[in-house]
Chains A and B, each alone.
Chain A
Amino acid sequence: MDRCGLFGFFIFSLAFTEAQALIPAHHLSLTDLARLQNLLSQTFIDLESAYYSVVGLKKLGVTVPDHKEVCQFVNSQLDPASVDSLFFAAEISQAISDCEIPVSNETRDILLAAVSEDSSMALIHRAVSTFSSLGLPLASQEVVSALTARINKEDNVMAITLALQTAARLSKQAELGGILEEIEDLTARLDDLGGIYLQFEEGLEATALFVTAAYSLSDHVDMEPPLKEDQVIQLVNSIFSKKSWDSLAEAFSVASAAAALSNNRFHVPVIVSVQGPATVSHSQPTLQLLVTDVMSQPLATVNVLVESAYSASSKSVILNEAPFTLNDGIFELNFMSTHPASGYYQFTVAVTGDSRLVASHVELKVKVSTEVAVTHMDLSVVDKDQSIGTKTTRVDYPSKAKSPFIADSHQNFAMSFQLVDVNTGVELTPHQTFVRLHNQKTGQEVVFVAEPDSKNLYKFELDTAERKFEFDSISGTYSLYLIVGDATLENPILWNVADVMLKFLDEEAPATIQPKTLYVPKPEIKHLFREPEKKPPTVVSNAFTALILSPFLLLLILWFKLGANISNFSFSPSTILFHLGHAAMLGLMYVYWTHLNMFQTIKYLAIIGGVTFLAGNRMLAQKAVKRLEKK
Chain B
Amino acid sequence: MSNSVISVISRFLEEYSTSTPTKLKMVDAYLLYILLTGALQFLYCLLVGTFPFNSFLSGFISCVGSFILAVCLRIQINPQNKGDFLSISPERAFADFLFAHTVLHLVVMNFIG
Contact = CB atoms under 8 A, between A and B. Distances in A.
A6 interface: no
Contacts of B98: 582, 616
A533 B112 contact: no
Given A551-B37, A554-B33, A562-B26, A620 B51 contact: no
B91 interface: yes
B48 A551 contact: no
Nearest to B94: A620
Interface string A576-593: 000000100110010011
B29 A620 contact: no
B112 A536 contact: no
Interface in A533-550: 533-536, 540-541, 544, 547-548
Given A551-B33, A555-B30, A593-B109, A621 B51 contact: no
Interface in B31-45: 32-33, 36-37, 40-41, 44
B91 A624 contact: yes
A312 B38 CA distance: 91
Interface string B14-54: 00000000100110011011001100110010001101000
B102 A555 contact: no
Contacts of B90: 624, 627
B22 A544 contact: no
A510 interface: no
Contacts of A562: 22, 25-26, 29
Nearest to B50: A533
B95 interface: yes
Nearest to A543: B44
A616 B98 CA distance: 10
B105 A589 contact: yes
A563 interface: yes
A605 B102 contact: yes
B80 interface: no
B106 interface: yes
B48 A540 contact: yes
B89 interface: yes
Nearest to A544: B44
Contacts, number: 74
Contact of B106 (A559, A601, A617): A601
A428 to B, nearest CB: 77
Contacts of B4: none
B22 A592 contact: no
Contact of A548 (B41, B51, B110): B41
Given A535-B51, A593-B112, A605 B32 contact: no
Interface string A557-576: 01100111000000000000
Interface string B82-108: 000000011110110011001001100
Contacts of B89: 624
A555 B51 contact: no
Contact of A559 (B29, B51, B91, B110): B29
Contacts of B51: 533-536
Contact of B91 (A536, A551, A554, A623): A623
Given A533-B51, A547-B40, A593-B109, A621 B91 contact: yes
Contacts of A609: 102
B105 A555 contact: no
A548 B33 contact: no
A541 B110 CA distance: 22
A548 B22 contact: no
A552 B26 contact: no
Contact of B40 (A534, A540, A551, A563): A551
Contact of A551 (B36, B49, B94, B109): B36
Contacts of A136: none
Contacts of A621: 91
A4 B51 CA distance: 101
Contacts of A534: 51
A605 B6 CA distance: 50
Nearest to B53: A533
Contacts of B95: 616-617, 620
Contacts of A558: 29, 32-33
Contacts of A19: none
6 contacts: A544-B40, A548-B37, A554-B36, A555-B32, A563-B22, A592-B109
Interface of B: 22, 25-26, 29-30, 32-33, 36-37, 40-41, 44, 48-49, 51, 89-92, 94-95, 98-99, 102, 105-106, 109-110, 112
List 5 tightest A-B contacts by C-beta distance, closest first: A620-B91, A555-B33, A551-B36, A558-B29, A544-B44
Given A562-B22, A593-B112, A616-B98, 20 more contacts: A534-B51, A535-B51, A536-B48, A547-B40, A547-B44, A551-B37, A552-B33, A554-B33, A554-B36, A555-B33, A558-B32, A559-B29, A562-B29, A563-B22, A601-B106, A601-B109, A602-B106, A605-B102, A623-B91, A624-B89
